[in-house]
Chains A and B, each alone.
Chain A
Amino acid sequence: MRYIKFLFQNLVKMATLLVGVSIVAFTLVSMSPIDPVQANVGTLGYMRMTPEKKAEFASYWGEDVPPVERYLNWAGDFIRGDMGISLKYNRPVAEVVSEKFRNSLLLMCVAWILSGVFGILLGVIAGYYRDRWQDRLIKGYALLLASTPAFWIALVLLMVFAVWLQWLPVGMNVPIGMAAAEVGFLERLRHLILPAAALSLTGVANIALHTREKMIDIMESDYVLFARARGERGGAIVRRHALRNILLPAITLQFGSVSEIFGGSVLIEQVFSYPGLGQAAVDAGLGSDVALLLAITVVSTLFVFCGNLIANVLYGVVDPRIRRGGYER
């Protein structure tokens, strides 16, 4: 019962935050000196719009409608699934977002899993060999990567593997000049390797450092001391005592890092011209495609909240004290 209440509280909080985000985002977009109606009058998408659609567009963004009314117009249609027309892509926003999101999701999932697995692995090794050369190496790598911009890593990978060694394609998710439908799964995979590698390389740092701290705590604990006294050695200690205590918090942390993975994917998609949500967001921002920009903001926020919600629920599973005491202090 308490658990359901805990879940419910989280969901309510999520809903209010989502409304807050949409208001803030809408206000920011409206503040812009760039008038979306003016900026898009010349574009093909705007010229092809029916008069009703033009009226709808003006009711969201027109200068002569009061801001609160404009927000309500937009939000009302948004909830009903009508996110407006993307002028940049000349298609309904909902369609663009779902297509791009699927591309991004593939990239983010692969990177998320890879960075999680390697992060935990490196963290365990570093914590186990605390202050020895293995630890120094891993810690140094993690700290250095934490100060390296994701897009630069992507550029370096691109230079080495695509330009210099020519092992992998330079960008996009399909070969140039081919329709998306006729591209095989393997070809898609080949285009995914570099972006996913770039994204996971930077994602590893945070989780590795956290796992290392946790591992050090565990190695100093009484139960590990007792296990050693019983004659257990390296591998057995890690398997029987450390991993069980590390895995859940680490997975929880990884769910909480969805926001960073998404941020990284925006930059990396730009480098590899990978047609995902991040690239669409940049296009929308640069091309004053306000409907698309707002939709992406809301969708990506929802995505991050889902990650955080799973993290919160998992915290409850891991640590009953949090479940009982509600969330936060």
Chain B
Amino acid sequence: MKDKAVGAGRIKNMRRRTRVTVVCAVLLLAAVLVAGVLLGERAVQTDFSRKNVTPCIPYLFGTDWMGRDMLARTLKGLSTSIFIGILASAISALVALVLGTMAATLGKGADAAITWLIDLMLGVPHIVLLVLISYALGKGFWGVTVGVALTHWPGLCRVLRSEILQIRESTYIGVARQLGKSPWYIAKTHIFPQILPQFLAGLILLFPHAILHEASVTFLGFGLSPEKPAIGMILSESMSYLSTGKWWLALFPGLALVLVVVLFERIGNGVRTLLDPASAHE
């Protein structure tokens, strides 16, 4: 008896801890987003009297060769990245949902076509595809956002498709069909609620990839324009100053980017654990 009680206490703690982690991570990301918006002015302010300052108390991340505050630039860049990441992964997840549902419900032809499309997308190296799309759209903000949005759906789409295929085999769907319910009704009441946890977790877990790819494409020079502070831009500019020993230009913005990605990863995994009834006892 006693053992059971102790076990139950730990389960509660585990779930509570996950919940606390998720809430903290969301708050931290929101803070970065707000700080980036508020610091927009400061991020582009140049002041040649304080250029190339090594990290110290007023300038935690140091300043660059034009005397811009690197902390402000980093936060501004991160908030742009997070914004693009959210937009792109939302679009990507929607595409995945629509195509995955179509593949699983519209019969063999549609399934074959969509599976082929997924293989096609996964066949081209990701970065090359992003370069192509952003070239097609004439580079810039939309080039990156559309590129990232159009290239991240295949993985999630595959998962959703096989999930829906499995659900379709279950008896209650058969019963609903025999009762003469319409396909839309079945999808709405029997299928979507079932795949919702997968979908939400998948959506959030797209963020890290989206942000990393946005940074990569911008780093290569296809993304946002140089005057906009973006993490990729900051890092690619820092390259020309590394050999003269300005290590802080690359180190801290990169670390901040890693932190944001890790936070999103945490949120995604946390949400998945919380929503998945099978792991309620872990």
Interface residues of A (CB under 8 A from B): 13, 16-17, 20-21, 24-25, 28-29, 31-34, 143-144, 146-152, 155-156, 158-159, 162-164, 170, 259-260, 262-263, 266-267, 270-271, 278, 281-282, 285-286, 288, 293, 296-297, 300-301, 304-305, 308, 328-329
B residues contacting the other copy or chain, number (CB 8 A): 44
Cβ contacts under 8 Å, B116 to chain A: 16-17, 20
User: How many Å from the CB of A222 to the closest CB on chain B?
Assistant: 24
Whether B208 contacts A147 by the Cβ 8 Å rule is: yes
A-B contact pairs, 11 of them (CB 8 A): A21-B124, A25-B132, A29-B136, A31-B137, A144-B258, A144-B262, A150-B216, A152-B257, A263-B125, A263-B128, A270-B220
User: How many Å from the CB of A256 to the closest CB on chain B?
Assistant: 10
Interface stretch of the complex, out of B24-32, B70-78, B247-255: B247-255
Whether A308 contacts B133 by the Cβ 8 Å rule is: no
Interface residues of B (CB under 8 A from A): 115-116, 119-120, 122-128, 131-138, 162, 165, 208, 212, 215-216, 219-222, 235, 238-239, 242-243, 245, 247, 250-251, 254, 257-258, 261-262, 265
User: Which of B133, B239, B242, B257 interacts with A149 by CB under 8 Å?
Assistant: B257
Interface SS of B by simple majority: helix
Give the tally of cross-chain contacts (CB within 8 A).
141
Whether A149 contacts B216 by the Cβ 8 Å rule is: yes
Whether B250 contacts A285 by the Cβ 8 Å rule is: no
Whether B242 contacts A158 by the Cβ 8 Å rule is: yes
User: Which of B127, B132, B258 interacts with A28 by CB under 8 Å?
Assistant: B132
Whether B254 contacts A297 by the Cβ 8 Å rule is: no
Interface SS of A by simple majority: helix
Whether B235 contacts A155 by the Cβ 8 Å rule is: yes
Whether B128 contacts A13 by the Cβ 8 Å rule is: no
The complex places the Cα of A147 from the Cα of B257 at a distance, in Å, of 9
User: Contacts A29-B135, A34-B135, A34-B138: A147 and B125 contacting too (C-beta < 8 A)?
Assistant: no
User: How many Å from the CB of A28 to the closest CB on chain B?
Assistant: 4
Whether A328 contacts B120 by the Cβ 8 Å rule is: no
The complex places the Cα of A163 from the Cα of B245 at a distance, in Å, of 7
| Most A CB within 10 A of own CB, among B128, B135, B162, B215 | B128
The complex places the Cα of A282 from the Cα of B127 at a distance, in Å, of 10
The complex places the Cα of A20 from the Cα of B242 at a distance, in Å, of 42
Cβ contacts under 8 Å, A28 to chain B: 132-133, 135-136
Whether A159 contacts B251 by the Cβ 8 Å rule is: yes
Whether A156 contacts B250 by the Cβ 8 Å rule is: yes
User: How many Å from the CB of A277 to the closest CB on chain B?
Assistant: 10
